[in-house]
Amino acid sequence: MFALVVRFDCRDEAAAVRFDELTAVAVREITELEPGTLVYATSVVDGEPLARVFYEVYRDRDAFRAHEEADHVRRFHALKDPLLTGTRVEFLTPGAAKGLP
């Protein structure tokens, strides 16, 4: 298993709304087209209305690479980047858990 957490900080409220629209489309495509993506959960950060966090779990590193190379993900990245002031990615080594595959 391979996992990561990504934090996105949107420029303003309008950017956050557009980011959420793009995210909804991306999650739908990821669900339909990526069998190696096991968990793709998105959240708004409590108390920080312009911040979003994604929790992503992949079958393995190859599944993650396939995700990153997919046309729908590349399109998402291209469209979301102008909406952001910052992005932080943290790669994880999964430990004890409940509910993960």
Whether 84 and 12 have beta carbons less than 8 Å apart is answered as no
Q: Are strands 2-10 and 37-45 parallel, antiparallel or unpaired?
A: unpaired
Instruction: Tell me if the pTM is above 0.85.
Output: yes
Look up residue 40 and give its two tokens. Answer: 């793709």
Q: What is the DSSP letter of 46?
A: T
Per-residue pLDDT of the chain (101 residues; tens, 9 = 90+): 999 999 999 999 999 999 999 999 999 999 999 999 999 999 999 999 999 999 999 999 999 999 999 999 999 999 999 999 999 999 998 888 888 77
Q: Is the dihedral of CA 65, 39, 84, 82 positive or negative?
A: positive
How far is the C-alpha of 19 from the C-alpha of 54, rounded, in Å? 12
Q: What is the DSSP letter of 37?
A: E
The predicted structure's pLDDT at residue 72: 98
| Per-position b or e across 35-53, b if 16+ CB within 10 A of its CB | eebbebebeeeeeeebbbe
